[in-house]
Amino acid sequence: MKEPNELLGYWTCPQGGRAEVFQTKKRGNHFYTRCKCCGLNQGTGAERQQRIYDEAQFKPEVTFKVPSNVKPESDSEVHEVREVKALESDFDPTAEPEVSEPEPARPIISGGAKTGLALLAFSAAVGVAAWMN
């Protein structure tokens, strides 16, 4: 049986095997792999295709097309951007709390100050009384 597609390189498959990487000439230009542990795997899922693209050791002399569902930039970069965006949206629940904070804070502060003064006066009185006895 003739091998119609060129061996592009090698990829460590999910089972830890050394998979040969080929590329289909069909629409989508998806990678497919072949290894002893998994056999022929022609899965065209974007995650799998991206992993092969990012992780495979491609032979320097071969040329291949980027599969239709693979982003040419590094996969980790894409994930980082997504994570930062998610965090930003989590920590930015509108400016509402900042606006409403000063008003209820004022009576608490003055009340606390009064209590503090009263306590201070009380302890001073107690101290004076103790000193006087």
Minimal distance in Å, beta carbon 37 to Zn ion?
A: 3
Stretch that binds Zn ion, among 27-35, 65-73, 86-94, 108-116 (CB under 5 A): 27-35
In this chain, which of 18, 37, 46, 121 binds Zn ion, going by CB under 5 A? Answer: 37
Residue among 9, 12, 17, 69 that touches Zn ion (CB under 5 A): 17
Beta carbons within 10 angstroms of residue 59's beta carbon: 14
Query: What's the DSSP call for residue 67?
Result: P
Euclidean distance between CA atoms 92 and 130, whole angstroms: 54
Distance CA 103, CA 38 (A): 66
Segment near Zn ion (CB under 5 A); pick from 32-40, 57-65, 67-75, 119-127? 32-40
Distance CA 71, CA 133 (A): 85
Comparing CB distances to Zn ion, the nearer of 7 and 71 is: 7
